[in-house]
Chains A and B, each alone.
Chain A
Amino acid sequence: MTANFTLLFLAIFVGATYWGWTWPYIAKMMPLYVAAIPGVILTLVQLYRDGTQWESQEKNRAKGIEMDEVHNIKLDRQTELWRTLAFFGWFIGGAVGVWLLGIIYSLPALVFFYALIDGKEKLHTSLIMAMVTYGLVWGLFEYTLEMRWPPGLLIGY
């Protein structure tokens, strides 16, 4: 799986090199010579390491520290996978809702349904959360500050 993600980086760097190859020097110096071409080389080395499990061997020796949060979820894979997919489903659904229905309706709806269905919160708790969200999105921005949000594709305001 790690190798797949490294492959994604490789594809991005190769694509960037390809698309930028015909640009004048001033335009391609940074994206190609500083970023993409070194990126291709680095990802090839990383792919080799991923393929030969280099990092797990290297781990036997002492090392520095992780400079980013460590992925430390301790669930069985199946559960982790389903929950991750569910999470992204909600998040992407919320984004789609903003696009289709507009932010004023979709964000309170997202909050309400997530709290109720995934979070198994009580109905009144979910409703209160949705109302607070509505108060923020519509009450603060549209009503008080008079800053209009764009309407959704399906619903205009």
Chain B
Amino acid sequence: MAVDPPAVRPDGPIIIPDQAENDALLAPFNMEDHPQGGFHGLLEVIPTKADYILDLIRANSLWPLLSGLSCCAIEMMSTATSVNDIDRFGMFPFRASPRQADVLIVAGTLTTKMAGPLVRLWEQMPEPKWCVAMGTCTTSGGRFKRSYSVVQGVDRVMPVDVYVPGCPPRPEGLIYGMMKLHELVKQRRGEWSTFVDRGPQRTRWEGDVR
């Protein structure tokens, strides 16, 4: 049975306007001058209660990136294994790929040679993402304060949400830090929530083609 092809509309195709930047639509909710600007939230009609559920989901399923640099990595592994189980908080899968990870736990000393790859990893992580500086080396340089090749705190190269001091911090300490991160996620207090989306941004590296 032959079917007639759909008729071409005489006045052109229907164009549905993209309302992503139309802040006037938020007027009924008194949010047109919200600092985050633009629509946010799961259901763009009720941005508060569904967002609470979404934040709860995010907090209870934070997937860390395998970014263990040195000694703190062993304590991070100890936090992940049977005795101090972080799986009960949903954080068991330590993802190898940054594209699948939520939180970057920088565990270990950051050196100037490794700073480039680590920032690249951070940029490859999609939002929402958080950063936990584990150990004193990532908080402030730690015991390597005068060294010529240690970055004096990872907050010199990336935004940090939670600092967990210790050398190395006990697994209980790291779990406390992750609980603080849960608080941050649920209250939208972290560095990500204050990030205003201006489109794709990346650092320009030497030798980039475009």
**A-B interaction:** no
| Residues on A facing B (Cβ under 8 Å) | none
